[in-house]
């Protein structure tokens, strides 16, 4: 049984103004730290009070019109551009004295370069958005560039920010077949799921069950080429008589009913084992978080099965003893 879900990253809901305000704050913080070292001779006017006052005033507005948001976005871009130029000047001045820098000052220099790199990328994208240009691979978090918006169209949240996980259910256990930073279509993931089964379990599955999102001629061919005859994926659109007969068959109905079980397993993993929101803020932390959660879930399931089998064997032993006495 195959399905996909999104594990959200630990980021606040991103808006353009908030993202620019984060960039501005990071720039101002690192400029002040570099000034305290004494290696930067100039005292910079960051205009942080004025920028903060404008940002708070904008945030206090209840309903913001498109015109007001656009105006504030352009204003924040100007503030960030000013501070970014100051960061560049600090880097030049500190690099000219690189031989005389101690460990702490070298750390500040590396942070200056990191803030410059990230802020320049975000500012470039935001300036394009101000000009109503389309932006590919749009950045939504200052600390985690790999986070992408996943448009799912589901209630209550239609857009989630995190990683897309390909999950497989077999014999009541849930496995992570793949974790993707981009919002890949389910129609392209069936071959990945089958190859994962072959590598992990050492055999090709006899049947496959998934929802309509996984249906495509390519997925069907991939299953048939590997000898999988029972493909329990409903076809989209109008059905031919042959397809209607196939979907009414007992094995197809059985696969459809079994497929509903993976929805329950995913719900339990999100409610009890932390797959709803990853808390690791390191590189690829979302995938690590999901794998650890699934390990805990599968271990608990295996312990329950062991207890049940032990109870059954104990009960069978008691019945055998009673029979011998009689």
Beta bridge partners of 150: 160
Six token digits for residue 81: 């551009």
| Closest residue by Cα to residue 83 from 143, 23, 15 | 23
Instruction: Tell me how far apart the alpha carbons of residues 45 and 56 are, in angstroms, rounded to a whole number.
Output: 20
> pLDDT, tens digit, for every residue of 182-225?
888 888 899 899 999 999 999 888 899 999 889 888 888 888 88
pLDDT value for 325: 53
Q: In terms of Cα–Cα distance, which of 79, 82, 91, 78 is closest to 117?
A: 91
Task: Cis check for the bond before 156: say yes or no (omega within 30 of 0).
Answer: yes
Tell me the CA distances in angstroms from 184 to 1, 116, 198, one per residue in order.
19, 31, 22
Q: What is the percent of the chain with per-residue pLDDT over 70, rounded to a whole number?
A: 98
pTM, two decimals, is: 0.80
Among 9-13, 148-152, 230-234, top mean pLDDT goes to 230-234
SS3 state at 256: helix
Using CA atoms, how far apart are residues 199 and 307, in angstroms rounded to an integer?
29
Per-residue CA distances from 285 to 61, 143, 290, 295 (Å): 36, 13, 9, 15
């Amino acid at each position: 049984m195959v399905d996909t879900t999104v594990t959200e990253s630990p980021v606040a809901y991103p808006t353009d103004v908030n993202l620019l305000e984060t960039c501005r704050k990071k720039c101002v913080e690192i400029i002040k730290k570099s000034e305290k070292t004494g290696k930067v001779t100039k005292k910079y006017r960051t205009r942080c009070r004025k920028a903060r006052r404008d940002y708070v005033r904008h945030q206090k507005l209840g309903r913001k019109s498109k015109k007001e948001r656009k105006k504030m976005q352009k204003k924040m871009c100007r503030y960030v551009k000013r501070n970014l130029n100051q960061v560049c000047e600090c880097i030049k001045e500190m690099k000219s004295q690189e031989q005389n820098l101690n460990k702490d000052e070298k750390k500040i220099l590396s942070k200056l370069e990191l803030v410059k790199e990230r802020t320049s990328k975000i500012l470039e994208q935001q300036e394009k958005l101000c000009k109503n240009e389309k932006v590919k691979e749009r950045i939504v978090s200052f600390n985690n560039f790999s986070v992408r918006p996943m448009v799912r169209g589901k209630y209550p949240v239609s857009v989630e920010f995190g990683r897309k996980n390909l999950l497989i259910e077999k014999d009541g256990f849930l496995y992570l077949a793949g974790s993707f930073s981009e919002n890949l279509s389910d129609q392209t993931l069936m071959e990945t799921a089958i190859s994962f089964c072959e590598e992990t379990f050492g055999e090709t599955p006899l049947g496959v069950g998934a929802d309509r999102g996984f249906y495509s001629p390519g997925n069907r061919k991939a299953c048939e080429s590997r000898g999988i005859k029972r493909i329990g994926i409903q076809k989209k659109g109008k059905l031919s008589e042959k397809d209607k007969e196939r979907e009414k068959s007992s094995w197809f109905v059985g696969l459809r009913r079994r497929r509903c079980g993976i929805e329950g397993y995913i719900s339990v993993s999100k409610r009890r084992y932390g797959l709803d929101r990853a808390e690791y803020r390191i590189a690829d932390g979302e995938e690590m978080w999901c794998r650890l959660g699934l390990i805990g879930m599968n271990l608990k399931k295996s312990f329950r099965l062991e207890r049940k089998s032990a109870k059954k064997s104990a009960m069978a032993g008691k019945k055998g003893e009673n029979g011998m006495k009689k």
